[in-house]
Structure 1
Amino acid sequence: MSAVIDVQGPLRKMPAEPGAPVHYRMKVGDTLIPLNDLIGRELQIDFEGEIRCIHCDRLTKKSFNQGFCYPCFRKLAACDSCIVSPEKCHYHEGTCREPEWGETHCMVPHIVYLANSSGLKVGITRKTQVPTRWIDQGAVAAVPMLEVATRRLSGLVEVLCKQHVADRTNWRAMLKGDVPEVDLMAERERMLETIADGVDALRAEHGEDAIRVVDESGLELAYPVEVWPSKVKTHNLDKTPQVTGRLEGVKGQYLMLDTGVINVRKFTAYHVRLQVFEPSPQQAPDLFSN
């Protein structure tokens, strides 16, 4: 087979836009490749042994926090523990690693939401990241619940919710398409009633305007998947630097091949060669019509 696409460069998180289904692009270096059009085609990804920090471009033997070298991992606010646990944000204490970064990423409106990616879960994201965050988690539906003034406050509200609902996605179930139906609008009302006392206490401390209920309908999402895997096998470029297979779908930040799945975001900053091959004669003749 001859390659009709052959590009090299560092992997980046896949850009995605809502649609019916979600529209994905693969980013390799400066090249953006529409992925929805590649469903059914043979791909080959070769890790070429080089990882460069997405912040400083330093050559690193190991990627930390999805694309950083160790010195950047230690010093950047984007890699601080409060990114994973937003209730631990310490900007207000004057100890933020990068106060200017904190101003633009943490001291801005956030959304506390409910989503269905492998069942009901609670999550938080910057207001500007809706619905990108939902797509990255592979949610089939999501609904905003509260808008809050800062990242720390979103974390404190999330802590209230986590006493009653999960905050993590079962990624294997998400990739199998094994997602139960959830009435998110009803769950939102139930959750708001359940955490009402805790939210009132936070308003008393941070101000009435710091937390407001978002009375908006949610969003349903569909993904470009031709075949759902019955068993999820993962590819790891660190252990097996060459991955080949027929692309059967894309969901979250995963490529779903007939040989297994690969989390593209996990290998951010890995320098790879991506090849897409001509279809076999048995495949539809119009696959390469564009």
Structure 2
Amino acid sequence: MLYEGVIRKMQTELGSPIQYFLVFENDFINMNQVLNRKLKIEFIKYQCLGTGKNEPIYRQGFCKSYFFESAAAGDWIMKPELSKAHLDIEDRDLEYEKRVQLQPHIVYLANSSNVKVGVTRKSQVPTRWIDQGAHEAIEIVEVPNRYLAGITEVALKAHVSDKTSWQKMLKNDLEDVDLIEWRQKLKSYVPEEVADYFIESNGETHLDFPVLQYPEKVKSVNLEKIPKHSGILKGIKGQYLIFEDSTVFNVRAHEGYYVGIDIN
């Protein structure tokens, strides 16, 4: 069965296991149903997610010009502490920035390869945790805007990592930890202006990924270097496809790539 379209990050549905969908303009693939089947992926052209043009992808599925012009790629995306919409200060497009920044945000702890702190919009829970391949996660604070979440993350990452080892995550090289205990340890480091938003009443969320076989070593697929890849799909974790030969395909890293996918 042949599919064709531009790659965007897989959509997910919480379940046991999590359901994954690769969605194209006029079709979609339930990736869970492709497990144990041969998947062929072929790079055809670029298609910038912002302009739709066939131009090399720079970052986040965008071509270089769009990345440096679009409000959807402002510095505050990766560094929430730089958010200024709450001050009515524009970065690239104040209307867009207010729409995204001035809504409830969560600062959380997630455990995928190690315990890490992160920030996401409340509407993106638990999607953000799924995308990171976290097998357990918990909220620390819920704040009304992105700036407060950002300064909280900055304060906490002096005491806990803000990075994930994607190789360890994919190998399932992890240990269960008590995230409630971790949250309590970090409570005193939450900035004073955020202290009233601290969450103490909720428990951990546990996530179950559809993986039949974890790789012992991981080798990343890059369609720009080798435009065709095929293999038996053995698992899906985070935004990665895991193949029988221990190669892994990072869907997020290939956003904006127009591909053909053949399933046998």
TM range (shorter): over 0.9
- Aligned partner of 2:73 in structure 1 is 79
Query: Aligned Cα RMSD in Å?
Result: 1.4
Q: CA deviation at 1:89?
A: 1.7
Aligned equivalents of 1:145 and 1:212: distance in 2? 6
CA contact (8 A) 1:147 1:214 kept: no
CA contact (8 A) 1:14 1:253 kept: yes
- Aligned partner of 2:234 in structure 1 is 248
- Aligned partner of 2:218 in structure 1 is 232
* Gap runs ≥5 in structure 2: none
- Aligned partner of 1:128 in structure 2 is 123
Question: Of 8, 14, 21, which aligns to 2:4?
Answer: 8
Q: CA deviation at 1:214?
A: 5.3
CA contact (8 A) 1:14 1:26 kept: yes
TM-score by length of 2: 0.95
Aligned equivalents of 2:204 and 2:96: distance in 1? 30
Q: CA deviation at 1:96?
A: 2.0
**Residue 35 of structure 1 aligns to which amino acid in structure 2?**
M
Question: Of 69, 92, 108, which aligns to 2:63?
Answer: 69
CA contact (8 A) 2:232 2:244 kept: yes
Question: Of 88, 98, 102, which aligns to 2:93?
Answer: 98
TM-score by length of 1: 0.87
Aligned equivalents of 2:26 and 2:223: distance in 1? 21
Q: How does 1:100-119 map to 2 (within 5 A)?
A: 100-119=95-114
Aligned equivalents of 1:241 and 1:35: distance in 2? 21
Q: CA deviation at 1:71?
A: 2.1
- Aligned partner of 2:136 in structure 1 is 141
Deviations 1:156-213 (A, max 9, x none): 0001110100011100000001111111111111111x315xx22x25xxxx86x343
Aligned equivalents of 2:235 and 2:153: distance in 1? 31
Deviations 1:214-262 (A, max 9, x none): 5212210010000000000111000000010000000000000123001
* Gap runs ≥5 in structure 1: 278-290
User: Is residue 242 of structure 2 the alignment partner of residue 267 of structure 1?
Assistant: no
CA contact (8 A) 1:9 1:28 kept: yes
**Residue 123 of structure 2 aligns to which amino acid in structure 1?**
T
Aligned equivalents of 1:77 and 1:179: distance in 2? 36
Aligned equivalents of 1:31 and 1:176: distance in 2? 31
Greater displacement, 121-130 / 215-224: 215-224
The sequence identity of aligned pairs, in percent, is 39
**Residue 37 of structure 2 aligns to which amino acid in structure 1?**
R
Aligned length: 262
CA contact (8 A) 1:11 1:268 kept: yes
Aligned equivalents of 1:119 and 1:128: distance in 2? 24
Q: CA deviation at 1:30?
A: 2.8
Aligned equivalents of 1:74 and 1:115: distance in 2? 30
